[in-house]
Amino acid sequence: MKNNRQYFLEKYFDYLKYQKNYSDYTILNYKNDILEYFHYLDKENLDFSDIIYSDIRFYLIYLKEEKKDNNASINRKLSALRSFYKYLVNEGIVKNNIFSLLSGPKRSRKLPRYFEYNELEELFLISDKKTPVGQRDLLLLEMLYATGVRVGELVHIKVCDINLSEKTILILGKGNKERYVTYGEYCEDILKLYLSDGRNALNKENSDYLFFNQNGGHLTERGVRYILNQLIQKTSIHKKISPHMIRHSFATHLLNEGCDLLTVQKLLGHESIKATQIYTHVTTDRLKEVYYHSFPRAKKER
């Protein structure tokens, strides 16, 4: 069975990419975690299709004591292996998902990092709207913030997915699930400019996609991250930036302005409300502000 291991692994990655619609970035993380696990199995002379509960308990000890992984890393690796073995069970390659029996270490709750609105405003002023690249970069920023889409969803937007009259975009999310997101007037203005000007200059291969790199090819997730890093270096903001951080900002700002959690869940494309609830922890300051402003006995008369 060990000789067939690589074959099953490649089939699994195809499944993640074409059926689950996972991004290349997510698949790469899964691949690294599973290959590390295979390396451990080889060292211990174990077959991936014939492990028992005690084997994975020792693997957990290995991650904690030898690799010195933190709880978040261990949970991520166990999640990747749990998903992989679930696939193997469904394909009839193994009988049981042994990782479903194992709970990872308790993880500390990490609040999402986000930008204040004034920081985003500074970012929006960096790009030169007179150039095709500047129009693209500004639209990229505006669309990430206006819609809260994932970077993998952003780079796969095609012009035909956009309804200009309704200001909506059809998004293909995780698990090939479709949803509509909306955008406002700031995003609308730069979108119309880019479609009529910058995109025509960048689109050298007559492609249907919305975003392109400077060579005219389809813009990748890695390309988006590179652009964002270049933009923030031109500002006074001393924070790291990522597409997901802008997504966090989108959700946080909506909740701070009174949007309900279920609506934010739908806009983000979260399957479970639990994934959205973490944003409620970053709105405490806003709740305090409303309380002291609104409650009659919050403050004494001076």
Q: How confident is the model at residue 100, as a pLDDT?
A: 86
Q: How confident is the model at residue 3, as a pLDDT?
A: 59
Closest CA to 104 of 128, 133, 69, 135: 69
Q: pLDDT tens digits for 286-300?
A: 667 667 777 777 677
Catalytic residue among 174, 179, 218, 286: 174
Q: How confident is the model at residue 227, as a pLDDT?
A: 97
Q: How confident is the model at residue 107, as a pLDDT?
A: 61
Residue 226 appears among annotated catalytic residues: no
Residue 245 identity: M
What is the Cα–Cα distance from 228 to 231, expressed in whole angstroms? Answer: 5
Kindly indicate the confidence band of residue 240, based on its pLDDT and cuts at 50, 70 and 90. very high
Round the CA-based radius of gyration of the chain to a whole number and report it.
23
Alpha-carbon distance values, 127 to 46, 70, 228 (Å)? 54, 39, 11
Residue 5 appears among annotated catalytic residues: no
Q: Minimum mean pLDDT among 13-27, 253-267, 276-290: which range? A: 276-290
Q: How confident is the model at residue 185, as a pLDDT?
A: 95
Total length of the chain: 302
Closest CA to 12 of 46, 43, 37, 40: 37
Closest CA to 111 of 294, 251, 281: 281
Catalytic residue among 77, 136, 247, 248: 247
Q: Minimum mean pLDDT among 45-49, 166-170, 212-216, 287-291: which range? A: 287-291
Give the chain's domains with CATH numbers: 2-101 (1.10.150.130), 117-288 (1.10.443.10)
Residue 39 appears among annotated catalytic residues: no
Residue 113 appears among annotated catalytic residues: no
Q: pLDDT tens digits for 58-115?
A: 998 899 888 888 888 888 999 999 999 999 999 988 888 988 887 777 665 666 789 9
Q: Are 228 and 242 in contact (CB under 8 A)?
A: yes
Query: Which residues are paired to 182 by β-bridges?
Result: 168
Strands 168-172 and 178-182: antiparallel
Kindly indicate the confidence band of residue 302, based on its pLDDT and cuts at 50, 70 and 90. low
Catalytic residue among 30, 59, 194, 279: 279
Higher-pLDDT residue of 40 and 280 is: 40
* Element housing 54 (H / E): helix 53-61
pTM score over 0.85:
no
Q: How confident is the model at residue 282, as a pLDDT?
A: 60
Query: Which position has the token pair 């279920």?
Result: 262
- Residue 91 CA, chain-centre distance (Å), reads 28
What is the Cα–Cα distance from 99 to 69, expressed in whole angstroms? Answer: 18
Residue 150 appears among annotated catalytic residues: yes
Residue 244 appears among annotated catalytic residues: yes
